[in-house]
Amino acid sequence: MSTPLERGVDMLKSQVDARVESYFSSCTHCGVCAEACLFYTETDDPRYTPIYKTEPLRKVWQQNFTLWGKLSSSLGLSKPITENDLSDWETLVYDGCSMCSRCTMVCPVGIDIAYLIRKVKEGMAAAGFVPEGLQGASQRALKFGSPMGLTTKGLLTAVGQQKKEHDIDIPVDVVGAEYLLMLSSNEVVLYTEFLTAISKIFSAAGISWTVSSKHFEATNTGVQMGDSVIAAQLLERLLEVASELKIKTVISPECGHAYTTFRWDGPNILGRELPFNVVHIMELLDQLRQDGKLKTTGSFDERLTYHDPCNISRRGGVLEQPRNLLNLVAPNFVEMNDNKEMNWCCGGGGGVSSNERAEPLRLQVFNVKKRQLDELDVTTMVTACSNCRTMLEEGLEENEMDVEVVSITELIADHLA
């Protein structure tokens, strides 16, 4: 039986691939990545330097894959990784990194640091160094289907309530529907307007869609923890319902990591292509706009700005669609100073939001968002990720700022012709 430490180290070893080899071989330790990371700029603590967070992986690579490293470890000259290291780095990678990948964009030698941090998390998860909050969330996800502990019964209740209150149609378990809408529990419990909004837009556009009562959860705690086994288990559930319902396209809701997981990382976690297409709700709405199926009327005249969710913009490539949609209804839309692929994170990505321990730090790094908003003097902030939305609301409240956070889908639905 191997110890947790050995399992972690073995996992880290297995993570070394061409990109890791190339990245670690080219890092000159120039420190530029720190200047892009909100956890460094807002704390001035050099330990939050992005590449420093990858130390455990770098060390395993150095000792097992490089000539000097192999030589000096065989001579017993290098210190192997200890449990202490892992527990120190647990706070660095889970509390001190929101996987926003802003660092990746500025590295002069082109290192995708977020990719490396994601791999460090695999090692951490294998060795059992995962914050309690995340562990709990993933257990609930496996057991009940959602990290918030929301069961399908809860979903059906919510659906029924919305149907009654707003006199709308929410198709459930329709075999042969073109689109399967996935939801994050946030959108079922907290932001119930989202479901109503979607339903209105879809019925106006005449779209054949459904939600699944068997598996509705779009978020993936396995990805946040960095545990590919759990991530794959949760993904398999999606594949199962999609094939049962003969779905052509899966819609990712307003959730950043759900989108990158379905659209980009999922196929690689599973090691095969997905049997359906994946679109983000904003891609779909923008497509409907282009096809003339989305007609709006009136306008939202408040001064507003758009918060790019990292996973949707920088990691997902959905950059212009939200802007096209906003230009339909919001004449006073202004961009933040750093936007699109260089936006600043809300602070709660990468599982930080489910990690209660990280809350003080998360609120501290929210300062950067506060500064961005102070420059603009807006009353409203639109976003396209319900996790960002919660984080932004908490940060605004903490700083006693009078800015309302709105979902883009809801904004559009409010102005349907």
Find the binding residues for ligand SF4 in span 25-44 (CB under 6 A): 27-33, 36-37, 39
Give SS3 for 2.
Answer: coil
Given the complex with ligand SF4, which of 338 and 414 has the nearer CB atom? 338
Give the residue carrying structure tokens 């949760």: 234
Q: For the segment 316-345, give every residue that binds ligand SF4 (CB under 6 A).
A: 345
Binding-residue pattern over the window 78 to 97 for other proteins, x denoting contact by CB under 8 A: xx-xx-xx--x---------
Query: Of the ranges 128-136, 183-191, 197-205, 337-345, which one interacts with other proteins (CB under 8 A)?
Result: 337-345
Q: For the segment 7-26, give every residue that binds other proteins (CB under 8 A).
A: 16-19, 21-23, 25-26
**Binding residue for ligand SF4 (CB under 6 A) from 11, 12, 86, 99?**
99
Binding-residue pattern over the window 296 to 325 for other proteins, x denoting contact by CB under 8 A: -----------------xxxxxxx------
Query: Of the ranges 58-66, 161-169, 189-197, 379-387, which one interacts with other proteins (CB under 8 A)?
Result: 58-66
- Of other proteins, ligand SF4, none, which one does residue 97 interact with (CB within 5 to 8 Å by kind)? ligand SF4
DSSP string covering 362-400:
HHHHTHHHHHHHHHH--SEEEES-HHHHHHHHHHHHHTT
Given the complex with other proteins, which of 173 and 338 has the nearer CB atom? 338
Given the complex with ligand SF4, which of 195 and 346 has the nearer CB atom? 346
The enclosing H or E element of 55 equals: helix 55-65
Q: For the segment 37-56, give every residue that binds other proteins (CB under 8 A).
A: 40-41, 44-47, 49, 51-52, 55-56
Alpha helix ranges (H) inside 177-318: 185-189, 193-205, 221-225, 228-244, 256-260, 266-270, 281-290
The two three-digit tokens of residue 147, written as one number: 């990290």
Residue 114 to residues 6, 52, 106, 266: CA-CA distances in angstroms?
24, 12, 12, 16
The number of residues that bind ligand SF4 (CB under 6 A) is 27
**Binding residue for other proteins (CB under 8 A) from 270, 334, 363, 376?**
270
Give the residue carrying structure tokens 């399967």: 180
- Of ligand SF4, other proteins, none, which one does residue 404 interact with (CB within 5 to 8 Å by kind)? none
How does strand 304-307 pair with strand 277-280?
Answer: unpaired
Query: Of the ranges 111-119, 125-133, 173-181, 239-247, which one interacts with ligand SF4 (CB under 6 A)?
Result: 111-119
DSSP designation for 109: T
66 part of the interface to other proteins, by CB under 8 A: yes
268 part of the interface to other proteins, by CB under 8 A: yes
What is the gyration radius of the CA atoms in the chain, in angstroms? 22
Given the complex with ligand SF4, which of 28 and 327 has the nearer CB atom? 28
**Binding residue for other proteins (CB under 8 A) from 3, 6, 14, 30?**
30
Q: Is 264 exposed, middle or buried (0-12, 13-18, 19+ CB in 10 A)?
A: middle
> For residues 291-311, b (16+ Cβ closer than 10 Å) or e, as one string?
eeebebeeebeeebbbbbbbb
**Binding residue for other proteins (CB under 8 A) from 156, 172, 190, 342?**
342
Give SS3 for 162.
Answer: helix
| Separation between Cα atoms, residue 185 and residue 173, nearest integer Å | 18
Beta-bridge mates of residue 183: 217
| Separation between Cα atoms, residue 324 and residue 81, nearest integer Å | 49
Residue 359: CB minimum distance to ligand SF4, A: 16
Q: Which of 198, 182, 277, 186 is nearest to 237 (CA)?
A: 182
**Binding residue for other proteins (CB under 8 A) from 7, 13, 64, 69?**
69
| Separation between Cα atoms, residue 197 and residue 193, nearest integer Å | 6
Q: For the segment 59-98, give every residue that binds ligand SF4 (CB under 6 A).
A: 97-98
- Of other proteins, ligand SF4, none, which one does residue 99 interact with (CB within 5 to 8 Å by kind)? ligand SF4
| Separation between Cα atoms, residue 57 and residue 15, nearest integer Å | 8
Q: For the segment 224-243, give every residue that binds ligand SF4 (CB under 6 A).
A: none
Q: For the segment 151-170, give every residue that binds ligand SF4 (CB under 6 A).
A: none
Residue 177 to residues 71, 169, 244, 245, 328: CA-CA distances in angstroms?
60, 14, 11, 7, 28
Query: Of the ranges 22-30, 60-68, 71-79, 131-139, which one interacts with ligand SF4 (CB under 6 A)?
Result: 22-30
Task: By CB under 6 A, name the binding residues for ligand SF4.
Answer: 27-33, 36-37, 39, 50-51, 53, 97-103, 107, 109, 111, 113-114, 117, 345
